[in-house]
Structure 1
Amino acid sequence: MKIVVTDCDHDSLAEERAVADAAGAELVVAPSGSADDVVATAAGADALVVQYARIDAALLDALPTVRAVGRYGVGVDTVDVAACTARGVAVCNVPDYGTESVSDHAIALALTAARRIAWMDRGVRDGTGGLAPVRPLHQVGGRVFGVVGLGLIGAATARKAAGLGYRVVAADARHEPGSTVGGIEVLALDDLLTRAHVVSLHLPLTDSTHHLIGAGELARMRPDAVVVNTSRGGVLDTTALVDALRSGRLHGAGLDVFEEEPLPPGHPLTTLDSAVLTPHLAWYSEESYGELKRRTVQNVVDVCAGRRPANVLNPEALDAAGGGSR
């Protein structure tokens, strides 16, 4: 069994190699995530493990022996799942590895943006600190925390926000407005936007969620609200957000993900005191990091061994994946 890591910026692959070795598999790392390098390295491979590289129909057609693609993480927006399914290639992710870490980070961003902690920190360092620049500030008690997307991470964020004293509401396309999920009141998205003091986004990036929060949605939010995004950058319209923050129409934003990553130096977001920015690291903790690495490789090992993996997005491909080369 040959497994190729298409691209990876981790400092070590020891966890992955341990899983591969236990399965008697060869683990090979491509020199880069470019299609040419991946095709050259993965000739004859049974599975691919991918971080950022794009897996599309052309690449799959050049690698007819591949039976599984494993993605480091939750989102698979760089993997053409339909193309994989059509070719009998199972697509695996690790949807729950970072639940606690990402929800921790979402809460940290919400509080930092709402209380303008980073802004105060810069003021102390450059000698301009004081109350006037950062007003108004509010306590948590009596504020409304809106969770958009009640998946594992959204639900964990809701639980932690409630523990801090927020009143938590949610919007989720899978649940009817007016219903209750886990004790959380479900609202229509427009209602949530007009009521919430924190709007925290926990959605995959799809055609239907791209720019779900745009200029119109931001305009409906309270002027004392903050928006938090730890999901995917494309869910939030960056240009509209910059305009809302720059005009003072919105109190603040806490962002771990961006439409362009890494965020380039001099980007308009970096000039705004009301924006708290972190470099797509909400997923990281020592605990989640090791779990992610082990489970990503174990998923593709299981597919290639003819077993059902713990996580597969297109189970209909499993029969074909277990049946040898395409």
Structure 2
Amino acid sequence: MSAQYVVKVADCDHGSIDIERGVLREACPSLPWLNCRTEDAVIAQCADTEALLIMYAPLTRRVLGHLTSCKSIVRYGVGVDTIDLRAAADLGIIVSNVPDYGTQEVADHALALMMCLTRKIVRANAQVKRGEWDFRQMRPVHRLQVQTAGLIGMGRIGQAMAHKVHALGMRVIAFDPAAAPEHVPDYVEMVGLEELLRASDVVSVHCPLTERTRNLLSEDRLRLMKPIAYLVNTARGNLVDEAALDRLLSEGRLAGAGFDVFGIEPPPADYPLLRHETFICSPHMAWHSDEAERDLKRSAAEEALRVLRGEPPKYQVNRF
């Protein structure tokens, strides 16, 4: 009989955790599915866990200090900004994410937002449904093959996006101080951030949220963009100063933006960005496909199980 462990799902907004239960069945016959969205809820309900699967649960140093039996924390998805990685390392807790479950989906979604903006699909759709049939109202629309795509971040998703926009015939430039040269395709020109913002017709954000990247696209930097340029964000909302973006859209200093993520999720109904016709958005779904969701759930559970069994983690993000 295999060893038995205490594993819990602190929070998860999927329809079921059947896949996780299947992976962990022998090692963890009972897999509680909780709804911990506050520090106190995690402390009260998860203090005895040896491995924790989380989506949005806040894991601060205070919370982690109460998880005295915990060996593994696995975040459903790529971002780990709700977890104090330094505190986890100090306490000997391995933190992992799942970085490769929805790479193509996120790049596809960023591409779709870009196409909707540059071809003005959403605006045209609304006008036709109002009985207005005049393509001239969409002007200006520019050929993609004479435009430059600027990608902020050249990890898995940034590389996938680079491949897609290059295939469309766009010039591709990118900014990523941490990018290994051998992982950068030869058709991508690496440039500084300010140069990228000035030169791009579309800027697409694909970097993680850290204290160094929070508000990376500040008002001063956003104002470097061309007035005819578009901004796409499928990474994290707090990478962009959204109040500044609202001002630029109000002033006509930016042609438009497409976001799948916000600093506050979900955004309130009166959120300023939502009032702009040139702003399109979706509900943090870029990662989603039926296939990606299955991969995510399976990989998260398998990672927790590896750590519990003393095997090397595959996706550890904090180093001791």
Q: How high is the TM-score relative to the length of structure 2?
A: 0.94
1:103-132, CA deviations, whole angstroms, 9 ceiling, x for partnerless residues?
000100111111111111111222345335
1:189 alignment partner AA: L
How is 1:73-222 mapped onto 2 (pairs within 5 angstroms)? Answer: 73-128=77-132, 130-174=134-178, 181-183=184-186, 184-222=188-226
CA offsets, 1:282-319, max 9 Å, x none?
00011111000111111111111101121111243xxx
Which residue identity does 1:18 align to in structure 2? G
Cα 1:307–1:315, aligned 2, differ >3 Å: closer, same or farther? farther
Retained in 2: the 8 A contact 1:75–1:93? yes
Matched-pair contact (CA < 8 Å) for 2:150–2:204 = yes
Is 1:16 the equivalent of 2:27? no
User: RMSD between aligned alpha carbons?
Assistant: 1.8
Name the CA distance, whole Å, in 1 between partners of 2:212 and 2:84. 16
Partners in 2 of 1:202 and 1:191 — Cα distance?
Answer: 17
Q: d(CA) in 2 for partners of 1:117 and 1:314?
A: 42
Paired amino acid for 2:122? A
Report the Cα offset of residue 102 of structure 1. Answer: 0.3
TM-superposed deviation, 1:24: 4.3
Task: Name the CA distance, whole Å, in 1 between partners of 2:63 and 2:133.
Answer: 54
Give the letter for the 1:181 counterpart.
Answer: V
Q: CA deviation at 1:141?
A: 1.1
- 3-state SS in 1 of match to 2:231: strand
Q: Give the equivalent residue in structure 1 for 2:240.
A: 236
Aligned residue pairs total 315
CA distance in 1: counterparts of 2:282 and 2:25, whole angstroms:
35
The letter for the 2-side match of 1:21 is R
User: Structure 1 regions of 5+ residues with no counterpart?
Assistant: 317-326
Taking the aligned partners of 1:31 and 1:263, their CA distance within structure 2 comes to 20
> Aligned-pair distance for 1:176?
9.7
Shift of residue 25, structure 1, vs aligned partner: 4.8
Contact preservation (8 Å) 2:159, 2:184: no
Q: Cα deviations across residues 70-114 of structure 1 (Å, max 9, x unaligned)? A: 100000000011110000000010011111000000100111111
TM-superposition CA deviations, 1:125-181 (whole Å, max 9, x none): 22345335432111111111111110000010000000111111111112599x993
**Aligned-residue offset at 1:32:** 3.2
Supply the AA of the counterpart residue of 2:246. V
Distance 1:21 1:239 in 2: 47
Query: Is the 2:12–2:35 contact (alpha carbons within 8 Å) kept by the matching residues of 1?
Result: no
Contact 2:194 2:221 in 1 (8 A): yes
Letter in 1 for 2:259: L
Alpha-carbon distance in 2 for matches of 1:135, 1:310: 49
Distance 2:44 2:179 in 1: 46
Give the % identical residues. Answer: 39
1:269 and 2:273 are equivalent in the alignment: yes
How far does the alpha carbon of each residue in 1:13-51 deviate from its partner, in whole angstroms, 9 at most, with x for none? 111111111434531122433333323332421111110
Change (3 A) 1:32 1:207: closer
CA contact (8 A) 1:93 1:296 kept: yes
Could you tell me how far 1:268 is from its partner in structure 2? 1.4
C-alpha deviations, 1:50-78, integer Å up to 9, x for none? 10010112212222111111100000000
- Code of the aligned partner of 2:134: G
**TM-score, structure 1 normalization:** 0.92
Q: In the alignment, is the contact (CA less than 8 A) between 1:2 and 1:25 conserved in 2?
A: no
In structure 2, the CA distance between the partners of 1:201 and 1:101, relative to structure 1 (3 Å rule), is same
Looking at structure 1, the residues matched to 218 and 88 of structure 2 have their Cα atoms a distance apart, in angstroms, of 31
Structure 2: runs of 5 or more not aligned: none
Secondary structure in 2 aligned to 1:141?
Answer: helix
